[in-house]
Amino acid sequence: MTVPFLDLNALHQPLKDEFLARIGEIIDSGEFILGSAVEEFEKQFAAFCGADHAIGVNTGTSALHLALLACGVGPGDEVITTPSTFVATVSAIVYTGAKPVFVDTDPATWTIDATKVESAISKRTKAILPVHLHGRMADMATLKEIADRRGIVLIEDACQAHGARRDGTQAGVYGDVGAFSFYPGKNLGALGEGGAVTTRNAEIARKVRLLRNWGSEVRYHHDEHAFNYRMDGFQGAALGIKLRFLDQWTEGRRRAAKHYDRRLDDLGVTRPSDDVGRHVYHIYAILVDDRDRVISELADLGIQSAIHYPIPVHLQRAYRNLGYEVGDFPVAERLAQKWLSLPMDPNLSESSVEQVTSSLASLI
């Protein structure tokens, strides 16, 4: 039996008729860009996150970009972040004209090492941008204490962490502002691209709304140089439907993760520490040696796996101009060489987990 990495069809088929009905309503209304479906989703997602404001945009990258801009990040500034992330985190910083400054990864949690952040702060540091990697929140209490004491903005890359919690606080509202992605494979995914910015700060929310829509609050009156980052009505409608099931789907992921944990404990497989907060398991990753062979042989056994992410951002060709070299962030580099993402899905059964782990046991 084949075990897919993620079965989106199984999630979408039960909702297909509702999707089609809502799409038909949008066609009839003509509200293709923003509109009432997006506004309703924004209210629902803000309530879900515990935010006062959620602003829908066209991608998670745009959400990061606007979150940074709305907090005043620009040319000459520095933003501290992690090299263990998807490239969009760093690209968004560069879009503003600011300089990314990397801090190594915590070997236990695989998120940014909060104990090393303060030593990276300079007179130019404007923001700290932790990434809630794979669905686990970073050490936000430590980062918030540093940010508040040093007068630095704290922006959450929550693009993989819909519904994650730490210290009783939901992802997206622990810092000054949060950014989410609704790429189809995310825990809450659109039927295309989408993203959102969340905040409890009314002025940040106002700024994001202005910047996503050509800097215009009144049509054809453009107050600032801005962007076309608007969410479309179809995506707002689809996300509004899917949001109703997100808690249920998250519990399915967490249940599958527990099945994995029990079986992988017996194999001595290295996984990140899971003793803090509510991990939502966008990705279930482990560390393995000879990863390419393991991936290939798992595929031969009908098991799909993946890598998130094989090259840390400081070693990507696009960012060589930042001046980092091999060895600068040894934890991030070691993890990137060994990460293996196993199948993870809200509907992943215990028998499928057994098949994955039994196959893995024969290969490592």
Q: Return the CATH number at 84.
A: 3.40.640.10
Q: Are residues 20 and 164 in the same domain?
A: yes
Q: Give me the pLDDT at residue 276, please.
A: 74
Q: Are residues 88 and 106 in the same domain?
A: yes
Low-confidence ranges of the chain (pLDDT < 70): 274-275
CA distance 296 to 294: 5
CA proximity to 58, closest of 211, 194, 182: 194
- CB contact at 8 A, 190 and 169: no
CA distance 223 to 70: 14
Q: Which domain-ending residue is among 221, 243, 265? A: 243
Q: Which domain-ending residue is among 210, 243, 276? A: 243
Q: Are residues 275 and 172 in the same domain?
A: no
pLDDT single digits (tens) 87-137:
999 999 999 999 999 999 999 999 999 999 999 999 999 999 999 999 999
Q: Give me the pLDDT at residue 307, please.
A: 96
pLDDT single digits (tens) 220-273:
999 999 999 999 999 999 999 999 999 999 999 999 999 999 999 988 898 987
CA proximity to 158, closest of 191, 134, 123: 134
Q: Could you give the C-alpha distances from 219 to 26, 42, 209, 216, in angstroms and in order? A: 22, 21, 13, 6
The total domain count for the chain is: 2
Residue 2 placed within a domain: no
Those residues whose C-beta lies under 8 Å from the C-beta of residue 133, and which sit 6 or more positions away, are 82, 84, 85, 110, 111, 160, 283
Label the pairing between strands 153-157 and 177-181.
parallel
Q: Give me the pLDDT at residue 281, please.
A: 97
Range of the domain at 347: 246-361
